[in-house]
């Protein structure tokens, strides 16, 4: 853990500059708008350790893998969301000296991420080697209102002498990815132009041939008076700059505004991308910095209106949840079904920026509760449109008859993860995609999604399970061999309980869905049967047989065994580990980890969480008490599930402990890896921890279920839920719970086990006994 940031309900504040924290801060203070994102790199040059990062959603490169690509079924590449051309740069020279916080004396420093307004700002005072001192303040944002634009206001004031200042705004397309497998340059430069204070660079990705056009235009004043200085210009392949030299009196302020446009060929034809970039940039300049900023703030105000969680009595908890909500909303806006949510979002290169099962298992519940249904539907449509690729992925592994195996990692539907124990074995991801369809429908009531899209996916996944599962003559049961469950500290195991459970459930839900679609839309069902050559009688008969005769390993009548042979391991609990040996994934050999009983993240408990309504409280308690002491929580996805279950069984102290871990995982850098980027998808788990854990939120039979309870030191907490056309504000104290219907749609609610109909504009208040 590394605590160097100030606690504030709406701000992330770094109030001193320490070079050893800089790369972590670049991640933590990242900004984005769903289409573009960037790490909090300094605008001026910085010669210290840094990870330059600008990312354009959906633009990627298939980086050839170093291992396994020659083997049957192995992906040939790993998809990388690319470090895109750098548009933030403004070099500053104080006299002849470069302003560089790694080389000058930093007298004061403050960096602020304003989560309420979506802005990144810095204020610092620096002393140059010559003794000249300058004060700098910077504000920048990527517009949520006009997501192809952004702006930077950079102000510099000489403090102890009249000073000649040269400022050089630029766009640099000659960038690299730190994680390139073969040290390749992923971009080729197509065009560049510079005309006075306005410049453009157009770059194209190799192989995938995406094009990105970036534009800049600069305006400057001294004490509010516009500069009348013709810049020197310079350009070369992939690079443009304008260089201005001005005399700034002591105490006067030079204000530089850099307007930005970022367009990609996902949304613009390549023959018009440069001209469109000019148009978008002109519109931003005509709007002006202040109006752009106000529109951006207004957009964030609307986002917070739906998604904010208020915690009174615990500023660390409050800051943590808002930090997570902020990054989720700036990573994915749900307006483009071609896009998804990478584990690092726009904050770093690790994991390639590609989509994992995290989206369905963790992110979907957040967007279901906080955004219009179309946002969540677009996440499902992303997978639907990749169905034929998922079938191809399965075919590469020897599956037939339209069986689909969705990729563990993807940008375009193709599998691009090349570790065998993940690519071939962590197949429970299929179940997460199936469960997401069920979760979406039960929350929104959009049952028509089954006929239009969902059933087709469910059938293909069930076909996969049917072929992947085999019959054991010894056990007289169906079994699933050679898998990796959510606990990636176990590989190539037989009968992982969670994987068997989610597979069985998927086939059962597919059978139910077939009957629903046959009844409600028989024409659509018949069209699907014809399209996918579905033999209902033969295929469903096998599914039913598997469901009835599946093997589930058990420790006793209540505790589900993680997999066959788990109890052959030496049973040691986490409290017996030497703290110096933590985290074990950084201290132990992989061989030692695989032989241990330690669990990386919720595995059995993931299944108990998903299918909680199947189990009585004693079953949930006994499984939690068995697996929590063996779980090291070395996946960011782990603590949130444990929070929900701990709260369910009344272990509020443990729930709160794990909540703080998940909500402040990156702010306090629990795993010593914030410098690589943030854990964006697990941030949705933080929302689950509060709303499903402390709020007790469930959906049963078309009704919203709530059972709020507060951690000991909280005075109150409040959140909103969008549910089947209604917007409900739930506020809980230790003595009462109120539900305010802020919409015109009535909402059926079960609060503390009692049913209510919360009609439009009604406020329900119930004492908490």
- Contact (Cβ atoms closer than 8 angstroms) between residue 479 and residue 513: no
In 339-407, which ranges are continuous DSSP H helix? 358, 364-370, 373-384, 387-396
Lowest mean pLDDT among 354-358, 517-521, 571-575: 354-358
The DSSP H or E segment spanning 242 is strand 239-248
- Contact (Cβ atoms closer than 8 angstroms) between residue 12 and residue 24: no
Mark residue 124 as left, alpha or beta (left: phi above 0; alpha: psi -120 to 50; beta: remaining). Answer: beta
C-alpha–C-alpha distance, residues 494 and 500, integer Å: 10
CA geometry: angle 358, 40, 371, nearest 5 deg = 40
Q: Could you read off the pLDDT of 54-80 as tens digits, one per residue?
A: 999 999 999 888 776 667 777 888 888
Tell me the mean pLDDT in the region 523-532: 98
Nearest Cα to 376, choosing from 429, 445, 290, 310?
A: 445
Rounded to 10°, the helix 522-532/455-468 angle is 40
Residue corresponding to tokens 């639907």? 384
Nearest Cα to 686, choosing from 666, 669, 712?
A: 666
676: annotated active-site residue: no
- Cα of first residue to Cα of last residue in the chain, in angstroms, is 38
C-alpha–C-alpha distance, residues 679 and 344, integer Å: 5
Cα-Cα-Cα-Cα torsion 358, 365, 141, 176, nearest 10 degrees, comes to 10
Helix (H, G, I), strand (E, B) or coil at 696: coil
C-alpha–C-alpha distance, residues 611 and 497, integer Å: 13
Tell me the mean pLDDT in the region 508-535: 98
Q: Could you read off the pLDDT of 170-221 as tens digits, one per residue?
A: 999 999 999 888 889 999 999 999 999 999 999 999 999 999 999 999 999 9
Q: Is pLDDT at 303 greater than 90 in this prediction?
A: yes
Core vs surface per residue 421-447: b (16+ CB within 10 A) or e: bbbbbbbbbbbbbbbbbbbbbbbbebe
> Which is the catalytic residue, given 488, 490, 628, 692?
488
- Contact (Cβ atoms closer than 8 angstroms) between residue 203 and residue 189: yes
In 549-675, which ranges are continuous DSSP H helix? 584-587, 590-595, 604-610, 617-627, 638-648, 652-663
Q: Residue 43: CA atoms inside 13 Å, Cβ hemisphere, count?
A: 29
Q: Could you read off the pLDDT of 8-56 as tens digits, one per residue?
A: 999 999 999 999 999 999 999 999 999 999 999 999 999 999 999 999 9
Nearest Cα to 216, choosing from 191, 193, 237?
A: 193
C-alpha–C-alpha distance, residues 88 and 41, integer Å: 8
- Contact (Cβ atoms closer than 8 angstroms) between residue 227 and residue 220: yes
Helix (H, G, I), strand (E, B) or coil at 613: helix
How crowded is residue 748: how many other Cβ atoms within 10 Å of its Cβ?
16
Nearest Cα to 28, choosing from 681, 684, 676, 685?
A: 676
The DSSP H or E segment spanning 683 is helix 680-688
The pLDDT, as a whole number, for residue 80 is 85
Q: Tokens for 75?
A: 């992906």
Q: What's the mean per-residue pLDDT of the chain?
A: 96
The pLDDT, as a whole number, for residue 70 is 65
- Contact (Cβ atoms closer than 8 angstroms) between residue 63 and residue 77: yes
- Residue 286 CA: distances (Å) to CA of 141, 222, 281, 291, 353: 17, 20, 9, 10, 34
Tell me the mean pLDDT in the region 223-227: 96
| pTM, rounded to two decimals | 0.97
How crowded is residue 589: how many other Cβ atoms within 10 Å of its Cβ?
9
The DSSP H or E segment spanning 518 is helix 497-520
C-alpha–C-alpha distance, residues 359 and 341, integer Å: 6
User: In 99-162, where do the E strands start and end?
Assistant: 105-114, 119-127, 133-142, 149-158
C-alpha–C-alpha distance, residues 575 and 196, integer Å: 65
Residue corresponding to tokens 């018009």? 272
Q: Could you read off the pLDDT of 289-299 as tens digits, one per residue?
A: 999 999 999 99
Which residues have CB under 8 Å from 686's CB, separation 6+?
Answer: 320, 321, 324, 640, 659, 662, 663
What percent of the chain clears pLDDT 70, i.e. is strictly above it?
Answer: 99
- Contact (Cβ atoms closer than 8 angstroms) between residue 201 and residue 214: yes
Strand partners, 155: 137, 255
């Amino acid at each position: 853990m590394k605590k160097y940031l100030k606690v504030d309900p709406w701000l992330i504040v770094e109030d001193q500059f320490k070079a050893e924290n800089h790369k972590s801060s670049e991640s933590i203070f990242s900004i984005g708008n769903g289409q573009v994102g960037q790490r909090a790199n300094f605008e001026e040059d910085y010669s210290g350790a840094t990870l330059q990062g600008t990312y354009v959603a959906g633009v990627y490169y298939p980086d050839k893998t170093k291992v396994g690509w020659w083997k049957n079924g192995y992906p040939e590449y790993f998809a990388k969301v690319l470090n895109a051309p750098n548009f933030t740069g403004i070099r500053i020279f104080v006299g002849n000296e470069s302003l560089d916080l790694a080389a000058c004396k930093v007298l004061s420093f403050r960096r602020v991420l304003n989560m309420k307004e979506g802005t990144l700002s810095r204020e610092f005072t620096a002393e140059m080697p010559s003794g000249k001192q300058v004060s700098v303040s910077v504000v920048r944002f990527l517009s949520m209102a006009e997501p192809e634009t952004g702006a930077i206001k950079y102000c510099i004031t000489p403090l102890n002498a009249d000073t000649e200042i040269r400022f050089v705004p630029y766009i640099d397309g000659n960038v690299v990815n730190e994680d390139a497998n073969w040290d390749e340059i992923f971009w080729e430069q197509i065009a560049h132009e510079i005309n006075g204070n306005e410049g453009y660079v157009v770059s194209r990705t190799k192989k995938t041939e995406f094009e990105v056009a970036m534009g800049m235009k600069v305006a400057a004043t001294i004490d509010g008076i516009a500069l009348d200085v013709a810049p020197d210009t310079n350009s070369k392949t992939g690079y443009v700059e304008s260089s201005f030299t001005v005399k700034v009196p002591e105490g006067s302020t030079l204000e530089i505004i850099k307007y930005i446009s970022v367009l990609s060929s996902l949304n613009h034809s390549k023959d018009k991308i440069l001209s469109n970039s000019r148009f978008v940039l002109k519109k931003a300049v005509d709007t002006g910095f202040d109006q752009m900023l106000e529109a951006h703030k207004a957009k964030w105000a609307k986002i917070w209106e739906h998604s904010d969680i208020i915690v009174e009595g615990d500023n660390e908890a409050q800051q943590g949840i808002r930090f997570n909500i902020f990054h989720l909303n700036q990573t994915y806006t749900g307006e483009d079904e071609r896009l998804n949510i990478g584990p690092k979002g726009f904050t770093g290169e690790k994991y390639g920026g590609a989509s994992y099962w995290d989206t369905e298992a963790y992110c979907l519940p957040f967007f279901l509760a906080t955004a219009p249904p179309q946002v969540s539907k677009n996440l499902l449509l992303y997978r639907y449109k990749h169905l034929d690729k998922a079938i191809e992925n399965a075919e590469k592994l020897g599956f037939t008859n339209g069986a689909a195996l969705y990729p563990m990692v993807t940008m375009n539907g193709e599998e691009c993860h090349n570790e065998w124990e993940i690519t071939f074995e962590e197949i429970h991801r299929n179940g997460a995609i199936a469960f997401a369809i069920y979760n979406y429908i039960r929350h929104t009531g959009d049952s028509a999604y089954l006929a239009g899209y969902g059933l087709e996916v469910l059938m293909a996944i069930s076909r996969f399970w049917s072929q992947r599962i085999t019959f054991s003559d010894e056990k007289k049961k169906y079994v699933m061999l050679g898998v990796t469950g959510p606990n990636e500290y176990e590989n190539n195991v037989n009968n992982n309980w969670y994987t068997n459970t989610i597979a069985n459930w998927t086939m059962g839900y597919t059978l139910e869905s077939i009957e629903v679609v046959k009844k409600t839309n028989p024409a659509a069902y018949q069209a699907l049967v014809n399209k996918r050559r579905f033999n209902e009688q033969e295929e469903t008969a096998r599914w039913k047989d598997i469901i009835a005769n599946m093997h589930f390993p058990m420790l006793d009548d209540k505790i589900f065994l993680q997999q066959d042979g788990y109890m052959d391991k030496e049973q040691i609990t986490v409290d017996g580990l030497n703290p110096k040996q933590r985290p074990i994934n950084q201290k132990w050999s992989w061989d030692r980890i695989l032989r241990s009983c330690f669990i990386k993240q919720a595995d059995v408990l993931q299944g108990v969480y998903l299918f909680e309504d199947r189990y009585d409280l004693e079953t949930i308690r006994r499984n939690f008490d068995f697996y929590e002491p063996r779980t090291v929580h070395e996946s960011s996805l782990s603590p949130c599930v444990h929070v929900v279950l701990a709260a369910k069984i009344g272990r509020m102290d443990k729930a709160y402990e794990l909540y703080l871990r998940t909500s402040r995982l990156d702010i306090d850098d629990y795993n010593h890896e914030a410098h690589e980027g943030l854990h964006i998808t697990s941030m949705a788990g933080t929302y689950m921890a509060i709303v499903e854990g402390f709020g007790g939120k469930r959906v049963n039979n078309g009704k919203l279920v709530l059972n709020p309870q507060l951690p000991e030191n909280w005075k109150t907490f409040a959140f909103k839920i969008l549910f089947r056309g209604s917007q409900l504000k739930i506020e809980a104290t230790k003595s009462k719970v109120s539900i305010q219907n802020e919409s015109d749609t009535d909402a059926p609610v079960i609060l503390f086990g009692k049913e209510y109909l919360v009609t439009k504009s009604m406020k329900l208040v119930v004492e908490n006994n």
